[in-house]
Amino acid sequence: MNNTYKNVKLASLNGLGRTTVRVGDLEVGNGLTVIGGPCSVESEEQLLETAVRVKQAGADMLRGGVFKPRTSPYSFQGLGLKGLKVLEKAKDITGLPIVSEVLDTRDVRWVSDYVDVIQIGARNMQNFSLLKEVGKTRKPVLLKRGMQSTLEEWLNSAEYILKEGNPDVILCERGIRTFETYTRNTLDLSAVPALKELTHLPVIVDPSHGTGKASLIEPMSLASVASGADGLIIEVHRDPSQALSDKDQALTPDQFSELVRKARIVHSTMEGLV
Ligand code: PEP
Ligand code: MN
């Protein structure tokens, strides 16, 4: 059948039905799931204000990093536990499930008590110890594509998680490194329909890291939905110019709200076509 990659067994489509991943009352893979929030949790006021605006815009989940994988050790590293407590408060206020990244195997268990979805970032896509550790939890995992990774390598990473007994993996295309420098990464949207041929797992797209430029995020979000993505994850900041990480790619809450409105129109149009 579709078993193009011989070691991709559990993640392979193999003629079986698609998987949806349940997060609270949501089902990722059924309809369009929109995740919004800041790159980093910076303070209680910043996160709570952004969370409320993201909710008002019609998002389904809230993102916010508290352990940041920064290129420089001198850059803001995240608030850690303090940030998780702020995320918990935002969930209490808005009802939005929380997505947050874990960098270290030692943090997987205790952090999974605070978050609804564990994010594995691009830089850790082939951190096999971390993949095994999240595979031992019963929390859904958002697995980002490594910036130098092929689809085969990415699906093998999903396989590590599934093999440990955790069936809830969501793939996230976030752009790969190419010779192009105008954009931060090259968003590989062909990965979306390609993955639909290869795997039963839901696929979402991150045009924020995929382009690195606020002006390109809405068009690439709409293109992601048109290409068949099950969801979007978008960085939103109440005041992008003040963001402590990834400020060039942060949308304002108003820009995010417009994006969500248009993305839902594209999604229902696409559904009408099939
Ligand atoms: C992030 O989501 O803030 C992040 C660091 O993403 P990536 O791992 O895709 O670079
Ligand atoms: Mn970021």
CA of 246 to the centre of ligand 1 (A): 9
CA of 208 to the centre of ligand 2 (A): 8
Which ligand is the nearest neighbour of the Cα of 121? Answer: 1
| pLDDT per position as a tens digit, 95-128 | 999 999 999 999 999 999 999 999 999 999 999 9
CA of 123 to the centre of ligand 1 (A): 8
Q: What is the mean pLDDT of residues 135-160?
A: 98
Residue with CA nearest ligand 1 atom 9: 122
Share of the chain above pLDDT 90, in %: 97
Predicted local confidence at residue 65, as pLDDT: 98
* Strand, coil or helix: 119: strand
The best mutation among 76, 79, 101 to test binding of ligand 1, ranked by most ligand atoms within 8 Å of the C-beta, falls on: 101
Query: Rounded distance, CA 175 to CA 48, Å?
Result: 29
Residue partners of 88: CB distance under 8 A and separation at least 6: 98, 114
Residue partners of 3: CB distance under 8 A and separation at least 6: 9, 12, 14
Q: Are 237 and 38 in contact (CB under 8 A)?
A: yes
Provide the pLDDT confidence category of residue 15 given band limits of 50, 70 and 90. confident
| pLDDT per position as a tens digit, 206-260 | 999 999 999 999 999 999 999 999 999 999 999 999 999 999 999 999 999 999 9
Residue with CA nearest ligand 1 atom 8: 121
Which ligand is the nearest neighbour of the Cα of 187? Answer: 1
214: part of which helix (H) or strand (E)?
helix 214-226
| Atom of ligand 1 lying closest to residue 68 CA | 5
The best mutation among 209, 237, 244, 247 to test binding of ligand 1, ranked by most ligand atoms within 8 Å of the C-beta, falls on: 209
Domain 20-273: assigned CATH number: 3.20.20.70
User: pTM score, two decimals?
Assistant: 0.97
Query: Rounded distance, CA 224 to CA 229, Å?
Result: 6
Q: What is the mean pLDDT of residues 44-54?
A: 98
* Strand, coil or helix: 234: strand
Residue with CA nearest ligand 1 atom 6: 121
| Strand partners of residue 63 | 99
Query: Where in the chain are the domains?
Result: 20-273
Residue with CA nearest ligand 1 atom 4: 121
Q: What is the mean pLDDT of residues 176-191?
A: 98
Which ligand is the nearest neighbour of the Cα of 144? Answer: 1
Predicted local confidence at residue 171, as pLDDT: 99
Q: Are 59 and 114 in contact (CB under 8 A)?
A: no
Binding-site residues, ligand 1, Cβ < 6 A:
39, 65, 69, 121-123, 144, 174, 206, 209
**Mean per-residue pLDDT over the chain, rounded:** 97
Provide the pLDDT confidence category of residue 137 given band limits of 50, 70 and 90. very high
Predicted local confidence at residue 77, as pLDDT: 97
The best mutation among 141, 206, 208 to test binding of ligand 1, ranked by most ligand atoms within 8 Å of the C-beta, falls on: 206
* pLDDT score of 3 more than 70: no
256: part of which helix (H) or strand (E)?
helix 253-273
Provide the pLDDT confidence category of residue 2 given band limits of 50, 70 and 90. very low
Residue with CA nearest ligand 1 atom 10: 122
CA-to-CA separations, 234 to 37, 90, 132, 170, 246, in angstroms, rounded: 7, 17, 27, 15, 12
